[in-house]
Amino acid sequence: MKLKIIFLLTLISNAITAQDSIKMTNNYGSQNKEIQDLIDFENIYIEQLNFSSLKLIGKSYKINIEEYKNGILLSTTKLFDGFETDYFKITTKEETLKFFFRLSDGKLKTYIRGKKFGSKKSYFNLMSDSDQYVLKDFFGNKEVINLDINSKNTLFAIITPTIHSDGSGSYCEVVQSDIKPEKLGEQFNIPHYFLITITFK
């Protein structure tokens, strides 16, 4: 009897969680191989994120970039704020955002394109060589990520690699871990990195 009750409570909890979740999928880069080769050469990252949920209807969202140094949050900068006007409220269960990042000449350059807007271009200083930084999402081998519509969600990390004792480095090991994004620098000894976050309201 107790097992049945626990099982029922689990199903109810999962159902409630599912109602408050947003399915997120992605499309990376360009379908044209030559263009993608050029994008890679220029250290440019383009990724489209697709969000799906009935809960999106009537919502707006804000996108921030958080900068961390030595494991400490240094600053939070607004990249786009849809809370400013009802014009940016989502009217369907589908929303698509395309993110552009460029890492060159000691700078991170960001730009976001939505259905109703193009964000301003923002620039941030890098601490290391531009080629040491890469953009990573948190999909790993997953095709879908479920986001919590009631919480801040991290979409991307812009990181340098974690360095092993033998001198080798790894990027994927960092973002495919179960470590909270804001703890990546502390856990993997990454002195400087950025997180891109989204909040729905």
From the number of C-beta atoms within 10 Å of its C-beta (0-12, 13-18, 19+), residue 179 rates as: middle
Q: What is the pLDDT of residue 5?
A: 46
Per-residue CA distances from 189 to 19, 71, 79, 107, 183 (Å): 37, 8, 27, 21, 10
Q: What is the pLDDT of residue 20?
A: 78
Residues in the chain: 201
Residues facing residue 52 across a β-bridge: 23, 94
Q: What is the pLDDT of residue 179?
A: 86
Residues of the chain with pLDDT under 50: 2-18
Q: What is the pLDDT of residue 1?
A: 52
Q: What is the pLDDT of residue 187?
A: 86
Per-residue CA distances from 88 to 117, 135, 178 (Å): 8, 27, 33
